[in-house]
Amino acid sequence: MPYSTALTAVDDTTVLGTDYSSGSNTDMETATFNSGDVTTTVTYMISKDTTIEDLETFTLTLALSGATDTAMFATVISPTATTVYILDCTGT
């Protein structure tokens, strides 16, 4: 039985919809784990812009409290959040 929970993006120096986007173009995506899975993939697209900028960051946090199946038991091993770095190489 799949287990789904929220994955929330929080802007540090980025702007959602300008510097990156999620599939739903909101700050929250759903991370779904099938029975026995220890990893899953959620896609965020980095926007191509023409402005050379300093290093930009946003943070992704996995929240077990948003689980769709409360009968499932899961353990998240630290860290439950990670920082994503966006580095403009050419500005194009």
> CA-based angle 30:77:11, to the nearest 5?
50
pLDDT of 40 strictly over 80: yes
Give the global pTM. Answer: 0.70
Enumerate the β-bridge partners of residue 30.
Answer: 6
pLDDT tens for 65-76 read 545 444 455 556
Residues in the chain: 92
Whole-angstrom distance, CA of residue 28 vs CA of residue 24 = 8
Question: CA-CA distances (angstroms) from residue 66 to 6, 8, 20?
Answer: 6, 11, 23
User: Tokens standing for 69?
Assistant: 């199946």
